[in-house]
Structure 1
Amino acid sequence: MNNSKTIYDLPDAEISLFNSFFSKEESDSLYISLAENINWQQDQIKFFGKIYDVPRLTALYGNTHKTYKYSGILMQPHPWNEDLLFIKKRIEKEAKVEFSTCLLNYYRTGNDSNSWHQDNEKELGRNPIIASVSFGETRPFQLKHIERNDLKRVDIPLSHGSMLLMKDSTQHFWKHRIPKTKKDIGSRINLTFRIIKNE
């Protein structure tokens, strides 16, 4: 494991990036296994009275009683599998917390995306800790402050085997997204580990 760590000096946030948090061999193996073995689903969202497919595939895994709701979508978790428990154990050692849930996103092409949002649902509690692990194609993780127009947008490239750790008030003051791109790029699997507070 490479201990390369970048701390982003941003107001109202605590964000650290660990490149090569998983080795190339581990990342290659996990990417293939997750693509093939996760119970991916195509969610739909209602927007101005119309129903649209969410522009990516998703899945929820974790402690089986910890449901999660975002953008009007209620997700029921599948039980942890071997791959996810391996990843979970590794990142918990760095984050020094125990995660209850993992929300997975499968970006199949550059046309798959995730629009501006904050991970600030009430189930996550105050100042949630979120660990974001990426396998596959490098995609830019973009952040913008919700109040301060004087701050420039931040672009963080999330590469194969990287882990982004977000703590403190990050989710209250910063929105983030994975934008679309017209480039002909490969697919990417992202795992966001969270602590769900509901019972």
Structure 2
Amino acid sequence: MGWQPLALAGADLALWTEWLPPTEADALLRELRDTIAWETHVIRIFGREVASPRLSCWIGDPGASYVYSRTRFEPHPWPPALAALRPRLEQACGSTFNSVLANLYRDGHDAMGWHSDDEPELGPAPVIASLSLGASRRFVFRRKSPRSSAALELELPHDSLLRMAGATQRLYQHALPRTARVRTPRINLTFRHVLEGSP
């Protein structure tokens, strides 16, 4: 199939469905669900500390620390399955990655609110490789300024790879809305590169 460009003004977006062989994608979903050290991250929203509505794990090379919502995350070591996957993703995306945020959405009640992956340690035009495993979920984009309703909606099915690059994070926010119709889990892996010397 290969990359399919997605139309969003000023952004650099492409989707590759069925990126992995089906049996490999199925096995990877089971292995990661059972072996990753999932935890509930506490984030700060409007001055209050709240539990994230999903389970997460920050994984990366030594020193690839990440600050999100005023919380600093030190990386867990790479599990063998993700270490083996990294060079294949780098080749597919034409970029290098030293870290990955793994999120487990247990069902449709788990979600991700509007945000951009625009933290300073990711640089001005980061390449984010987002691999989805498990339940198909709706993924939406909206322009930051002027703030708008959803500018692009798409389904991210099992074994789909979304590449976000260029000015995507600078111009747009994205979210994974709640949905009552999804009752099975989804794992999302967002590979990225944390710049050396980041605070």
Structure 2 unmatched ranges of 5 or more: none
Matched with 1:136 is 134
- Cα root mean square deviation, aligned: 1.6
**Residue 175 of structure 1 pairs with residue 169 of structure 2:** no
* Deviation (angstroms), 1:184: 4.1
Determine the C-alpha separation between the residues in 1 that align with 2:132 and 2:49: 29
Alignment of 1:1-199 (within 5 A): 3-148=1-146, 153-199=151-197
**148-157 vs 183-192, greater mean Cα deviation:** 148-157
SS in 1 for 2:63: coil
SS in 1 for 2:76: coil
TM-score by structure 2 length?
A: 0.93
Q: Which consecutive aligned stretches of 4+ in structure 1 deviate over 6 angstroms post-superposition? A: none
* Deviation (angstroms), 1:24: 1.2
* Deviation (angstroms), 1:73: 2.1
TM-score by structure 1 length?
A: 0.93
Determine the C-alpha separation between the residues in 2 that align with 1:100 and 1:46: 25
Structure 1 unmatched ranges of 5 or more: none
Identity %: 33
* Deviation (angstroms), 1:185: 2.0
* Deviation (angstroms), 1:74: 1.3
SS in 2 for 1:10: coil
Change (3 A) 1:195 1:184: closer
Determine the C-alpha separation between the residues in 1 that align with 2:165 and 2:31: 29
SS in 2 for 1:39: coil
Number of equivalent positions:
197
Determine the C-alpha separation between the residues in 1 that align with 2:167 and 2:48: 34
* Deviation (angstroms), 1:31: 0.3
